[in-house]
């Protein structure tokens, strides 16, 4: 187990380095004066230009620049904005909102995805199964951009007109309930994928020899499915869910914009329109970190769930 964990940690390092290098290179190594790119359309105060050149070590070779960026990253420093503010400070409060949103979506995804997948798998080949499959297809195909606005219209406006007030449709004025609708929208596509994955995984597991053994042991069907099959079918699902946390955080850009939630996704949207490159890079770097960490957690969970890996 120990060796497995260490190996995974070691494997994560080049991925982390490579991904941050890639992000950094895209913004700072593409042709054009980086400061000009940083400033975007705005006219630059020469003083700020000087500060930025200094701050980003722009006269150093590229790899050295990256090194400075990386060491800053280790100290929690994501750089400064054009106006001189700290990117880390701007994102600090917003990160929690996005994490809450992604967590809400993840819980919804897990409950709905595993539930629906289980339902379909246990009715494999029958009408209910086909119905669930068709529903997932539709769910996969409707972008969160669309579901967001449509649900906002239906639940927030039409139902409210009818006197039913289920969810707040924008902002966080009403506390955690404000996360419910955006969470559902963010989870939508993932629910569909997880449903399909659960279904496939369980159908495959139910064909395994050890399930035949469990039946031959005279175990009740509930125990055969709920314990022997599910425990095995769960392994790929956990992997998927963990990796999806990072994806959900990344997908928050559109959801937070549609629902006006003050998270890093909304900040990203604002910064893109204002062409505040340092913030854009900061958000993307942060999300890459979350993604790699989430995958690391998944690898460890995997070892807990699958003894064959634990004792490798």
Partner 1 sequence: MWRSSTAERDGRVPGGEALLTVDGLRVEFATRQGVVRAVNGVSYRIDPGETLAVLGESGSGKSVTAHAIMGLLDTPTVRVPAGEIRFHGTDLLGLREDDRARIRGRRIAMVFQDALSALNPVFTVGAQIGEMFRVHEGLSRREAERRAVELMDRVRIPAAAQRMYDYPHQFSGGMRQRIMIAMAIALGPELLIADEPTTALDVTVQAQIMDLLAELRRESGMAMILITHDLGVVADSADRIVVMYGGRVVESAPVHEVYQAPAHPYTRGLLESIPRLARKGRALPAIEGTPPDPLAMPTGCSFHPRCSYRQDNCVTDAPPRYRIGPTRDSACHYWREVLDGSHG
Partner 2 sequence: MSETTVERQGRGKHARRGRYSPGGPWRFGPPRAASLWSDAWQDLRRRPMFVGAAFVIAVFLVMAAFPWLFTSIDPHDAATCHLSEARQGVSDLHWFGTDNLGCDVYARSVYGARNSVVIGATTAALTALVGGLLGLFAGFAGGALDALLSRVTEIFFAIPSVLGALLILSVFRTGSVWTVVLALAVLAWPMTFRITRAAVITVKGQEYVLAARALGASSGRIMFRHIMPNALAPVIVVATINLGTFVAAEAGLSFVGVGLQSPDISWGLMISDARRRFLEAPEPLLFPALLLSLTVLAFVMLGDAVRDALDPKLR
Q: Does 2 bind partner 1 (CB under 8 A)?
A: no
**Per CB under 8 A, which of residues 197..226 are in contact with partner 1?**
208-210, 212-221, 223
Among 87, 90, 268, 298, binds partner 2 (CB under 8 A): 268
The size of the interface with partner 2 (CB under 8 A), counted in residues, is 56
Tokens 């969470």 identify what position? 183
**DSSP output for 234-291:** HHHHHHHHHHHHHHHHHHHHHHHHHHT--SHHHHHHHHHHHT-HHHHHHHHHHHHHHH
Picked from partner 1, partner 2, none, the partner binding residue 35 (CB below 5 to 8 A depending on kind) is none
Helix, strand, coil percent content, the chain, rounded in steps of 5: 80, 0, 20
Among 51, 122, 140, 305, binds partner 2 (CB under 8 A): 140
Angle CA 15–68–12, to nearest 5: 15
Rank residues 97 and 214 by Cβ distance to partner 2 and give the closer one.
Answer: 97
3-class DSSP state of 21: helix
Spell out, one character per residue from 103 to 132, where the chain touches partner 1: x when CB under 8 A holds, - when not: ----------------------x-------
Least distance between partner 2 and beta carbon 222 (Å):
27
Token pair of 170 as six digits: 């924008």
Q: Does 305 bind partner 2 (CB under 8 A)?
A: no
Picked from partner 2, partner 1, none, the partner binding residue 299 (CB below 5 to 8 A depending on kind) is none
CB 87 within 8 A of CB 278: yes
Q: Cα–Cα distances in Å, from 235 out to 56, 76, 159, 301, 312?
A: 44, 34, 40, 9, 16
Candidates 211, 267, 215; CA nearest to 92 is 267
Backbone φ and ψ of 122, nearest 5°: -75, -10
Token pair of 208 as six digits: 């395994």
**Per CB under 8 A, which of residues 204..263 are in contact with partner 2?**
236, 239-240, 246-247, 249-251, 253-254, 257-258
Picked from partner 2, partner 1, none, the partner binding residue 231 (CB below 5 to 8 A depending on kind) is partner 1
CA atoms within 13 A on the CB side of 308: 2
Spell out, one character per residue from 4 to 43, where the chain touches partner 2: x when CB under 8 A holds, - when not: ----------xxx-xx--xx--xx--x------x------
Rank residues 244 and 306 by Cβ distance to partner 1 and give the closer one.
Answer: 306
Tokens 């705005």 identify what position? 42
Among 105, 121, 196, 267, binds partner 2 (CB under 8 A): 196
3-class DSSP state of 80: strand
Rank residues 214 and 277 by Cβ distance to partner 2 and give the closer one.
Answer: 277
| CA R_g for the chain | 23
> Where does this chain bind partner 2 (CB under 8 A)?
14-16, 18-19, 22-23, 26-27, 30, 37, 137-138, 140-143, 145-146, 149-150, 152-153, 156-157, 193, 196-197, 200, 236, 239-240, 246-247, 249-251, 253-254, 257-258, 268-269, 272-273, 275, 277, 280-281, 283-284, 287-288, 291-292, 295
> Where does this chain bind partner 1 (CB under 8 A)?
125, 208-210, 212-221, 223, 228, 231-232, 235, 305-308, 311
């Amino acid at each position: 187990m120990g060796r497995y964990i260490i190996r995974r940690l070691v494997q994560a390092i080049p991925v982390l380095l490579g991904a941050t290098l890639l992000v950094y290179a895209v913004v700072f190594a593409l042709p054009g004066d980086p400061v000009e790119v940083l400033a975007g359309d705005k006219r630059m105060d020469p003083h700020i230009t000087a500060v930025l050149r200094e701050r980003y070590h722009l006269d150093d070779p590229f790899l050295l620049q990256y090194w400075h960026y990386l060491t800053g990253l280790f100290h929690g420093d994501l750089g400064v904005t054009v106006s001189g503010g700290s990117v880390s400070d701007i994102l600090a409060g917003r990160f929690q909102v996005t994490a809450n949103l992604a967590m809400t979506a993840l819980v919804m995804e897990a409950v709905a995805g595993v539930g629906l997948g289980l339902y379909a798998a246990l009715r494999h080949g029958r009408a209910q199964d086909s119905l669930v499959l068709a529903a997932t297809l539709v769910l996969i195909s409707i972008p969160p951009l669309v579901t967001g606005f449509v649900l906002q219209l239906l639940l927030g406006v039409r139902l409210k007109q009818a006197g039913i007030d289920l969810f707040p449709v924008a902002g966080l004025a009403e506390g955690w309930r404000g996360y419910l609708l955006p969470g559902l929208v963010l989870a939508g596509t993932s629910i569909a994928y997880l449903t399909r994955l659960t279904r496939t995984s369980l159908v495959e597991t139910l064909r395994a020899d050890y399930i035949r053994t469990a039946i031959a042991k005279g175990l009740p069907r509930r125990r055969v499915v709920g314990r022997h099959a599910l425990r095995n079918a769960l392994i790929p699902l956990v992997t998927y869910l963990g990796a999806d946390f990072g994806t959900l955080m990344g997908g928050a850009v559109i959801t937070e914009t549609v629902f006006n939630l003050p998270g890093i996704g909304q900040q990203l949207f604002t910064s893109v329109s204002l062409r505040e490159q340092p913030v854009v890079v900061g958000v993307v770097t942060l999300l890459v970190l979350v993604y790699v960490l989430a995958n690391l957690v998944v690898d460890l969970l995997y070892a807990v769930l699958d003894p064959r890996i634990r004792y490798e």
